Amino acid sequence: MEARRILLIATSGIAAYKVPDLVRQLQRAGHEVRCALTPTASRFVSRLALQTLTGATVRQDLFDPSEEGEIDHIRLADWAELVIVAPATANTLAGMAHGLAENLVGAVLLATEAPVLAAPAMNVNMWNHPATQANLETLRGRGVRFVGPGVGELACGWEGQGRMSDPSEIVAEAGLLLGSQSLAGETVLVTAGGTAEPIDAVRTITNRSSGKMGFALAEEAARRGARVCLVAGLTALETPAGVKRLDVESALEMRNAVMQELPDATIVIKAAAVADFRPEFPEEAKIKKESLDSQEGITLKLVTNPDILAEVCAQKGDRTVVGFAAESGDVVPAALRKLERKGCDLLVANDISRDDAGFNVDTNAVYLLSRGGEVEEVPLLSKHEVARQILDRVEKMRSERSR
Ligand code: CTP
């Protein structure tokens, strides 16, 4: 594998004694490694040993002028192509989940745009504690990857889950994260968020979509080396790193942006919640109450919006097109009919009647339906993990087709 720049962060757990071995194994895999420590981690692993192995200053103190002079914490965060936290204590994971920057490691973890891989290590009860589990859930939802912890005899005398994974497993997981430039050369067009259909100058018809699923897909596609264009409807989300974003409001604007970008796209993913109808004649000014007969109320005539996904599918060519389906009730049969009707290659079906999946939450549970009637159930996972599974499937479909 190509040499990559890895920042290895050790925190103060007894498993830190394995960190020099981890450094060596990462170096043997061809990577350039730098180390950083939490303030007390050097009680468990020698700073001098890590400095000798890496040939670079081991950063530990956010406010030390000589350390900051050599490589300041923001440059260190930018330098890394992957950050590994091993061992990751319950305390450091809690700090990461809450965005604390009270020490050098916390600041670097907030500042970095690199993927983060954590190898937790702690007492089994600390691991099982609802606070730790809630922090892990938050971090997973933000795309942090975990390796371990394993089950076995723990340094504290207890038996159970809490052992840091072996350095060889951590190196293998890092390889997976770094090696996947699997969408290099592809151009991915993603739509995300809800549309807003104007009624008048201030009012719209919109829906509950947050855009999280589409943004997670755009982020993951960019991480895999694709050029990504994200056509974003209404959403409060930040643009993922390396992604070109076009903001739109109405379904008609979304259609125009998609059609403009379509010629360059090799993969199209339509995660947006597009309004099916729009007011036929939106008022340019604000509709005033006194202009209406208040007893009668107001009747809006809605007309049908263009079906962007169907239009894209009608000119699909060699592209791989992924649609989404928001369904309640009998999800799979309804979604299979939608797949047929729209003509896409893959349909991701959500059950919108669940509280923990679909609109405006961080998790999703979906069915992946492909042409030919194949149905795969993906259990409740973070939207980032669901995005990975969707893109894994797209890659598989494209490689099978090119064979
Ligand atoms: N879609 C679209 N243009 C529309 C409506 C939907 O491109 N005018 C796309 C969505 O982005 C999604 C898929 O079509 O990828 C299915 O959307 P969904 O709302 O589930 O289905 P509809 O086609 O609107 O059908 P229905 O509302 O009857 O379920």
Which pLDDT value is given to residue 372? Answer: 83
To test the pocket of ligand 1, the residue of 217, 308, 309, 339 to mutate (highest count of ligand atoms within 8 Å of its CB) is 309
Q: What's the rounded mean pLDDT across residues 283-287?
A: 93
Ligand 1, atom nearest to 191 Cα: 11
- From the list 8, 27, 5, the residue with the least C-alpha distance to 19 is 8
Q: 305: Cβ below 6 Å to ligand 1?
A: yes
Architecture per CATH, domain 187-402, reads as: 3-Layer(aba) Sandwich (3.40)
Window from 168-172, 239-243, 306-310 with minimum mean pLDDT: 239-243
- Residue 56 CA to residue 47 CA, distance in Å, equals 11
- Residue 300 CA to residue 189 CA, distance in Å, equals 33
Burial class of 362 by CB neighbour count within 10 A (0 to 12, 13 to 18, 19+): middle
Rounded to 5 degrees, what are φ and ψ at 101?
Answer: -125, 45
Q: 115: Cβ below 6 Å to ligand 1?
A: no
Give me ligand 1 centre to Cα 202, in Å. Answer: 25
The beta-strand segments (E) located in 181-297 are: 187-192, 197-198, 204-205, 227-232, 243-247, 267-270, 277-279
The CATH class, in words, for 5-177 is alpha beta
Tokens 């050369």 belong to which residue?
A: 185
Q: Report the nearest-CA residue for atom 13 of ligand 1.
A: 324
Q: Name the average pLDDT for the chain.
A: 92
Q: Of 357 and 285, which is predicted with more confidence? A: 285
Q: What's the rounded mean pLDDT across residues 261-285?
A: 97
Ligand 1, atom nearest to 325 Cα: 20
Q: What's the rounded mean pLDDT across residues 115-122?
A: 95
Share of the chain above pLDDT 70, in %: 99
**Six token digits for residue 85:** 């936290």
Q: What's the rounded mean pLDDT across residues 259-270?
A: 98
Q: Is 136 helix (H, G, I), strand (E, B) or coil?
A: helix
CB atoms < 10 A from the CB of 133, how many?
Answer: 11
Which pLDDT value is given to residue 84? Answer: 98
- Residue 335 CA to residue 367 CA, distance in Å, equals 9
> If you count DSSP H runs as helices and E runs as strands, how many of each does the chain have, helices first?
14, 19
Give me ligand 1 centre to Cα 307, in Å. Answer: 7
Window from 61-65, 314-318, 332-336, 352-356 with minimum mean pLDDT: 352-356
Q: 251: Cβ below 6 Å to ligand 1?
A: yes
The contacts of residue 201 (CB under 8 Å, 6+ apart) are 283, 284, 285, 286
Active-site annotation holder among 156, 229, 313, 344: 156
Which pLDDT value is given to residue 51? Answer: 97
Q: What's the rounded mean pLDDT across residues 44-50?
A: 96
Do the beta carbons of residue 250 and residue 278 sit within 8 Å? yes
Give yes or no: 156 in active site.
yes
The contacts of residue 301 (CB under 8 Å, 6+ apart) are 279, 280, 281
How far is CA 296 from each of CA 47, 223, 366, rounded to the nearest angstrom? 78, 54, 43
5-177 and 187-402, same CATH topology: yes
Name 8's bridge partners: 35, 84
Per-domain boundaries in the chain? 5-177, 187-402
Which tens digits make up the pLDDT trace of 328-369? 889 999 999 999 999 999 999 998 888 887 787 888 889 999
